[in-house]
Amino acid sequence: MRTLSCKQLRKCFGGIRAVADIELEFPEPGITAIIGPNGAGKTTLVNILTGFVRADAGHCYLGKRETTQLAPHRIAQLGVTRSFQELRLVQQASVIDNVMLARPRQLGERLWRALFRVGVAVEETSSRREAIGILHALDLDDKTHALASELSYGQQKLLSLALCLATEARIIFLDEPVSGVHPELTARILSLLRGLAENGKLIIFVEHDLAAVREIADRVIVMDEGQVIADGAPADVLHRPEILEAYVG
Amino acid sequence: MDYLIHIAVFCCIYTVLAESLDLLVGHAGILSLVHAAFYATGAYTCAIIAVHLQWPFPVALLLGCASSGVVAFGVAALSIRLRGDLFVIATFACHVVILGVVANWIGLTRGPLGIFDIPHAVVLGCSLDTGWQYALMALTMALLAWAVVQLLVSSPFGRVLHAVREDDVLAMALGKNVFYFKSLAFIVAGVLAAGAGGIYAHYMRFIDPTSFTVMESILIASMVIIGGAGSRWGPVVGAVLLICLPEVLRVLGLPGSVAAHLRQIIYGVLLVVMMRLRPQGLVGHFAFGR
């Protein structure tokens, strides 16, 4: 079991403290929700932990390995992936190509293998099979050959989750995975996330929907003005008046 | 007939250049203005080896491609982390520097005087001294460049390039080293462009820096964009169209001096019209810059 952690993490944008001396540990597996009002620093914290933003001070670790200065792709290669608040997909590629893109350590991504096709066909067949399996699990198998841009918003949310699964990452950050999604699909996504956690993955998600947080999170971290103001089980945290006040504003 | 063969040779040479640039523009989504410098590197390396060392043409061509690959690696190392307009400006600056070296390293390149009396290429003991022989060689090179690009873009390597083109942040989040893939595409494009340069040097038997100015890079980029960036046949269509267009003006009987200026105006107008009305090019589907 590895633990994702950060110590004395700090990030300022101009004069605004987006993340202020945060210390956290995220042991695997489980589901952790990060909540807080807009501008609380939730997405900045995720961006720092996944390497997309450099912290001004402090350290991030994956197990014993320091990841503070690593590029995002190196952190992803260590088994930490993410989705984004704004949907990010290869819109002009098919659904299955999007999922196959996300597969890790592909031989065919090497120049000489790509040119001379050494072992690529076999790998592609197996990669395609895996991708179809993931799409089937997410009920997207009838959209396999559709362009990503042709999917509905909810289906695109599912596809971005499929990409995270295809990376085989053990730690998955999701930024508002159920925002703007109809209740039926929300229930499906939450049940999928629960299933992933039961299969040993650590899910960390930023979310405004407190009902969703109550339903699946094992742990809730509440942030406000760049600081962690509460951290604990949903039942212990979410009823506190000061949390509700900070959250509702 | 010789005239038509001459046009065919140029169509093939520019197909190689457009196809190789398309790997960057159409598939990786990065507009580079240094391409003519890779073309020049290949041409000068082949010419210098042929004139001073008299080494066989295939060896010279391979060394030309290798030297251009090294130059492309250098350009990529300097510029690939820049984004958007800054990247375009950086590649333009690299072109100016490389052409500056070519124009001023008199001892090696003879500077503005150029290198003349470049011997005809000898392939498998056969001296290529007729136009159709060069047309055949240029066609082979064009087919090779086309095949290399199609093989790459239809592989998992190409899948990553397309992801980089559309959303490099997503590619990074999925564990893809965006700079590595862009650099490799840059090197492959440089190597292929050098192949075109080698054939050009031996075919024309004279090269000087005026054949490789930044206008040449812009012409190649126009071929890609007008033909259709990121498509299977777009760069070929663009190269043939923009090479044949001036010849149509010639057939119309316009004086050479007028035709030369008119050609530039037509290229410019065509580029603006295409970007406005059909940004995916004549036969393409990816709208460059959108």
pLDDT at A121: 95
What is the Cα–Cα distance from B148 to A111, expressed in whole angstroms? 11
Torsion sign (Cα): A61, A100, B80, B290: negative
Q: What are phi and psi of B51, to 5 degrees?
A: -80, -45
pLDDT tens for residues A96-155? 999 999 999 999 999 999 999 999 999 999 999 999 999 999 999 999 999 999 999 999
Interface of B with A (CB under 8 A): 148, 151-152, 155-160, 162-163, 166-167, 169-178, 181, 184, 188, 285-286
Nearest to B137 by CA among B64, B217, B202: B202
Q: Which residue of B has its CA nearest to A160?
A: B170
Residue A160 Cα, gap to closest chain B Cα (Å): 10
What is the Cα–Cα distance from B243 to B225, expressed in whole angstroms? 14
Buried b (16+ CB within 10 A) or exposed e, A17-45: bbbbebebebebbbbbbbbbeeebbbbbb
In this complex, which of B152, B172, B175 lies closest to A104 when CB atoms are compared?
Answer: B175
What is the Cα–Cα distance from B261 to A137, expressed in whole angstroms? 62
Residue A189 Cα, gap to closest chain B Cα (Å): 20
pLDDT at B290: 58
In chain A the domains, ranked by start, together with CATH numbers, are 1-79+169-249 (3.40.50.300), 91-165 (no CATH)
Q: Residue A69 above 60 pLDDT? A: yes
Residue B81 Cα, gap to closest chain A Cα (Å): 13
The per-residue pLDDT string of chain B (290 residues; one tens digit each, 9 = 90 and over) reads 888 999 999 999 999 999 999 999 999 999 999 999 999 999 999 999 999 999 999 999 999 999 999 999 999 999 999 988 999 999 999 999 999 999 999 999 999 999 999 999 998 888 888 899 999 999 999 999 999 999 999 999 999 999 999 999 999 999 999 999 999 999 999 999 999 999 999 999 999 999 999 999 999 999 999 999 999 999 999 999 999 988 887 777 777 777 777 888 888 888 888 888 888 899 887 666 65
What is the Cα–Cα distance from A76 to A104, expressed in whole angstroms? 9
Nearest to B122 by CA among B45, B197, B58: B58
Torsion sign (Cα): A149, A154, A158, A163: positive
End-to-end CA distance of chain A, in Å?
Answer: 38
Task: Pull the structure tokens for residue A229.
Answer: 């103001």
Q: Kindly state the helix (H) or strand (E) to which residue A80 belongs, with its residue range.
A: strand A80-82
pLDDT at B206: 96
Mapped to the 3 state alphabet, what secondary structure does B184-252 carry? HHHHHHHHHHHHHHHHHHHHHCEECHHHHCHHHHHHHHHHHHHHCCCCCCHHHHHHHHHHHHHHHHHHC
Task: Pull the structure tokens for residue A32.
Answer: 């952790």
Are the beta carbons of B3 and B228 closer than 8 angstroms?
no
Q: A59-68, A69-78, B196-205, B258-267: which range is least confident on average?
A: B258-267
- Whether A128 contacts chain B with CB within 8 A: no
Q: Using an 8 Å CB-CB cutoff, list chain A residues near B147.
A: none
What is the Cα–Cα distance from A32 to A202, expressed in whole angstroms? 8
Q: Kindly state the helix (H) or strand (E) to which residue A43 belongs, with its residue range.
A: helix A42-49
What is the Cα–Cα distance from B95 to A79, expressed in whole angstroms? 40
What is the Cα–Cα distance from A106 to A113, expressed in whole angstroms? 10
pLDDT at B15: 98
The long-range contacts involving A103-108, CB below 8 angstroms and separated by at least 24 positions, are A103/A127, A103/A130, A103/A131, A103/A166, A103/A167, A103/A168, A104/A77, A104/A167, A104/A168, A104/B175, A106/B156, A107/B156, A108/B155, A108/B156, A108/B157
What is the Cα–Cα distance from B42 to B190, expressed in whole angstroms? 9
Integer CA distances (angstroms), A246 to A37, A39, A208, A220, B273, in order:
7, 12, 13, 14, 55
Q: Which residue of B has its CA nearest to A164?
A: B174
Q: Using an 8 Å CB-CB cutoff, list chain A residues near B171.
A: 73, 101
What is the Cα–Cα distance from A217 to A233, expressed in whole angstroms? 8
Residue A190 Cα, gap to closest chain B Cα (Å): 22
Integer CA distances (angstroms), A21 to A17, A226, B150, in order:
10, 8, 51
pLDDT at B274: 87
Q: Which residue of A has its CA nearest to B287?
A: A92
Q: Any idea which residue has 């695109």 for tokens?
A: A156
Q: Using an 8 Å CB-CB cutoff, list chain B residues near A124.
A: 156
* Residue A36 falls in which region: left (phi positive, over 0), alpha (psi -120 to 50) or beta: left
Task: Pull the structure tokens for residue A51.
Answer: 């390497």
Most B CBs within 10 A among A52, A75, A109, hence the mutation to make, goes to A109
Whether residue B157 and residue A111 make contact (CB cut-off 8 A), yes or no, is yes
Whether residue B162 and residue A93 make contact (CB cut-off 8 A), yes or no, is yes
For chain A, give the mean pLDDT: 93
Q: Using an 8 Å CB-CB cutoff, list chain B residues near A100.
A: 156, 159
Q: Residue A21 above 60 pLDDT? A: yes
Q: Residue A159 above 90 pLDDT? A: yes
- Whether A104 contacts chain B with CB within 8 A: yes
Q: Using an 8 Å CB-CB cutoff, list chain B residues near A93.
A: 159, 162-163, 166
pLDDT at A239: 84
Q: Any idea which residue has 């190269």 for tokens?
A: B239
What is the Cα–Cα distance from A221 to A213, expressed in whole angstroms? 11
- Outline where B56-207 has alpha helix (H): 57-79, 84-104, 106-109, 131-153, 156-166, 168-173, 178-204
Whether residue A101 and residue B158 make contact (CB cut-off 8 A), yes or no, is no
Classified as helix, coil or strand, A110 is coil
pLDDT at A244: 76
Are the beta carbons of A207 and A233 closer than 8 angstroms?
no
Question: Can you tell me the mean pLDDT for A11-36?
Answer: 93
Q: Using an 8 Å CB-CB cutoff, list chain A residues near B152.
A: 111, 114-115
